[in-house]
Amino acid sequence: MAKSKIQIKSIIFDMKRAWLFLILVELLLIGYGSVSLAKSYYDKQLYQKYKDQYVWLDEKIYQTAKEETESQGVDLKTMLAIFHSESRGNRYAISSAGAIGLGQVMPVHYKGRKEVLFDPEMNIHLAVRVFKICMDKHNGNLIKALNCYEGRNNREDVNVKYLSEIIENIYYNSKD
């Protein structure tokens, strides 16, 4: 009986070692363009962490936001916090000022039919682009960039509730 327990433990140990070996091989291949199991696992964990924070978040919105923020050099946590504050994740939201969708993009930022702004991919693309413009305009100052994104471009007053909600959501998952 004791011998079989030792054999089982040995097999389990060998399986763990083989799994670790595969992860190490994957990590070595990252630089050569291989899709990494470790990166994929981390991304799924990160998605779940954000999903726990934002119940409206689905995988397609997450992936689109992740790709757009990476391509524009904008922080993903910040954009998700903006989407949450602006629309609570409602892709069909319309503000009293006429802003549309997840990121509450104003139709002035898109020259086509405004119905297209209800498409989450297009809305995310434009929202990230607008926020990137605001960040660049204010030399990376988050508070001024958020003020700009909200449409308070050169005004000195700030919407404290809006800013504090976004900042609180950004730092909610600050350990990732």
Render pLDDT for 42-52 as a digit per residue (tens, 0 to 9).
Answer: 778 888 899 99
For residue 175, what pLDDT is reported? 53
Residue 109 or 10, more confident? 109
100 has pLDDT over 60: yes
For residue 164, what pLDDT is reported? 84
3 has pLDDT over 70: no
Q: Where are the domains of the chain?
A: 56-172
- DSSP β-bridge partners for residue 100: 94, 105
For residue 106, give Cα distances in angstroms to 2, 122, 150: 71, 12, 10
Q: Say if residue 101 is exposed, middle or buried (CB neighbours under 10 Å; 0-12, 13-18, 19+).
A: buried
Q: Are 105 and 131 in contact (CB under 8 A)?
A: no
56-172 carries CATH number 1.10.530.10: yes
Q: Are 150 and 82 in contact (CB under 8 A)?
A: no
Residue spans of alpha helices (H) in the chain:
2-29, 37-53, 59-72, 76-87, 120-137, 142-149, 160-172
53 has pLDDT over 60: yes
172 has pLDDT over 80: no
Residue 155 or 168, more confident? 168
For residue 34, what pLDDT is reported? 47
For residue 10, what pLDDT is reported? 57
Instruction: Give the mean pLDDT of 94-118.
Output: 88
33 has pLDDT over 60: no
40 dihedral zone (left: phi>0; alpha: psi -120 to 50; beta): alpha
